[in-house]
Structure 1
């Protein structure tokens, strides 16, 4: 009995490790999973990674003509192309990272059932893949902004870094939460798809924040709109890439932008801890449910 106990003590029960810290320590495994995800995604594809340029470009032109030209938003918002694309890449990063992380455990069911490794690795790898796709879009935005005369200051660059950090933290937290729930209830994927659709319209991507305040006033509706973590994130991207371009004579940032950015930071960190908590509570049941 003592010998059996000694052997059993040499194992770590699922969900009893250090969670994300174990995943970060296994950086080599994380890199392997990222490479696997990229190879599987573009297997048999002619364009391969070029889809990282094609999809957001098509999305940009559709929105630009639908909102900018047909609804004449480009007449009221100077350099509307930069304004629009800076919001698009922020929302695309969130939607892809959140969606991929939600499907990460179910999508890697074969590995989850065969071997044990920190399952958070799958979610982190999915978010990393989204960041890999985000980089080409960011390069296109930088080239366009530079062409328009982009001259950022330290505050503008800090706003972009903060917005990116909030996005990644929020995506990882929500991805862990819904990734664990998706193993138990496959309806979670549909919820995530709805969130992605709403995110594009519930944030100032296709319109200016002043349009929202003019419609809902300065009461609880306006406050609720700003409490959406993605709202200050998109405005931080605007402050970084759009505001420093010539033609934007006077950039008026939303009232309380930095306060709501702080709230968004706290919210994203809270989701990270809560998502990790739920993930670790359900971790031991993944293999059985899959």
Structure 2
């Protein structure tokens, strides 16, 4: 065997190795789900309980008490944003902790370390799907008739959030091995995630209150773009919104401009996260 075919055991092919080890990824995802719901009575039903309670709190606090439910189909508007932010929060948060949580495996055997953050994102997808089905059922109940472009926008939004959460997860998972304060930083970021995107309020309030300059930078947030795309796909095609005198107020050029911008920014963050992760992964076993 030539020396050119040998590779250092602490080097990997990055996310490409995850594709080559799909069977191992499947085992890790299954293990994560079993560990999370071990000795649990409700099991996977907890993926309904948390967003359900969160929805009720926001609906009564903001919709009923503050009167925001005067907006047509406010339930759909709010829930379509909540499930997307919850997916991002779980994927990013669990990916950040994934390498440290699997420290015993990292120290004992060699395997692509990217498997752990990717598995965390897959587990978040498993929890996202039941919530998404509930959203679809509610949309049909409210007379949902989407167009092809709106559905493609929703697919693009999901891809955008997946790349963003994985990229940030890889970046902070590597940092968390060296500096455990990273978990606290991520917790602060996730605490602000719901309020930095138009989940519970209308996007134009930011523009009208803080001006066009601030709004431009606010709009560069991929989560903002993704939530707006979900609103365009699931809220604006409902009957009450279509028939409202002012219709659905959505940002200009949402599909033609902001969708490509959000995808590019998310891809750049994914590439940055992978680069930092690969640079630091050789120190993981030693630091853990």
TM-score (norm 1): 0.94
Unaligned runs of 5+ in 1: none
Q: What's the offset of the Cα at 1:12? A: 3.2
Residues in 2 aligned to 1:9 and 1:22: alpha-carbon distance in whole angstroms: 16
Q: What's 1:213 paired with?
A: 207
**1:84-117: per-residue Cα shift (whole Å, max 9, x none)?**
0000001001000000110010000010000000
Deviation at 1:10, TM superposition (A): 4.2
1: CA distance between counterparts of 2:180 and 2:259? 32
Equivalent runs, 1:213-252 vs 2, <5 Å: 213-218=207-212, 220-249=213-242, 250-252=247-249
Distance across 2 between alignment mates of 1:236 and 1:91 = 13
> Could you list the runs of 4 or more consecutive aligned residues of structure 1 that deviate by over 3 angstroms after TM superposition?
8-12
Structure 1 counterpart SS, 2:92 = helix
Distance between the aligned counterparts of 1:28 and 1:9, measured in 2?
24
Secondary structure of the corresponding residue to residue 194 of structure 2 = helix
What is the number of equivalent residue pairs in this alignment? 283
* Paired position in structure 2 for 1:257: 254
Task: Please list the CA deviations of residues 37-96 of structure 1 after superposition, one character each: whole Å capped at 9, or x if unmatched.
Answer: 000000011000000111101100110111111111111x21000000000001001000
1:171 maps to 165
Show the 5 A alignment for 1:1-290.
10-15=6-11, 17-75=12-70, 77-218=71-212, 220-249=213-242, 250-258=247-255, 259-290=257-288
CA apart distance, 1:257? 2.3
Structure 2, unaligned runs of 5 or more: none
Tell me the C-alpha RMSD between the 2 structures: 1.5
Give TM-score scaled by structure 2 length.
Answer: 0.95
- Deviation string 1:171-191 (CA, Å, 9 cap, x unpaired) is 111100000000000011111
Indicate the SS of the match to 1:106.
Answer: helix
Q: Is the 8 A contact 2:153 2:259 kept in 1?
A: no
